[in-house]
Amino acid sequence: MGVVNVTPDSFSDGGQWYGAEAAIGHGLELVDQGADIVDVGGESTRPGAQRIEAEEELRRVGPVVTELVKAGVPVSIDTMRARVASFALDAGARLVNDVSGGLADPDMPRLVAAAGASYVVMHWRGHSHDMYARATYADVVGEVREELTRRVDAAVAAGVDPGRIVIDPGLGFGKRPEHNWPLLARLPEVATLGGRTFPVLVAASRKGFLGGLLAGPDGTPRPIGGREEATVAITALAAAGGAWCVRVHQVPASSDAVRVAAAWRAAAARP
């Protein structure tokens, strides 16, 4: 899954693709580089980000989703708003990537159900402006699984086909670095909710916990531009660990890593 942030303030590439023409071109480039899905978002969820109005979010993503779909690109819409998701689905988007797991807009699960679309349900404890205030866990894997189970159950109760649900452990969202690593290391466990195994989306690309891991001798986190190799390592490990998809900003190296992981898993499965 390649990322197209149509925003001026996303943490990794804010402003680089802000504008329909640039964003559409970037989405097409990601597909050429090997992306299977292009995830289009118009609202930053970086730590501390403030929300924008729905009209502004639609203004940003509307033409991008429309033109990418016309070009035959499999598009997912990264939004917490049912209104924005509705526009994107009507335009031909195939998947709704809701970082709130349906908590930010209670109409979202019903909309997804009515559209028969696929739905990424992410673990989330609150909006970006104060999400770290909720980053307290005694057992992060157990608590994330429990809270994801409630969100999945709510989506299914609203009519969403469980076979179309993808879960996301929400790396970095209401989680400090020490919380992210157990979730990554125990993906098969995270994927199993209520006796059913769900596809898992891993979105670690360039995130702050990688910058902290790679900090310099003085403790300064590695800048965003220097986290790409670590992102590729996460891609390989997550894919080998059974992830359904990885969400990344730069596709070529991660695409290669997925192929390597697939070969590794195939060899491991042979007697």
Q: Helix, strand, coil shares of the chain as percentages rounded to 5?
A: 50, 15, 40
Active site residues: 207, 247
Q: Are 180 and 137 in contact (CB under 8 A)?
A: no
Q: Are 34 and 251 in contact (CB under 8 A)?
A: yes
Helix axes 228-240, 177-185, angle to 10 degrees: 40
Q: Which residue bears the tokens 């404890």?
A: 125
Q: Are 92 and 75 in contact (CB under 8 A)?
A: yes
Please give the Cα distance from 219 to 119 (Å, whole number): 39
117 Rama sector, left if φ>0, alpha if ψ -120 to 50, beta otherwise: beta
Please give the Cα distance from 236 to 43 (Å, whole number): 28
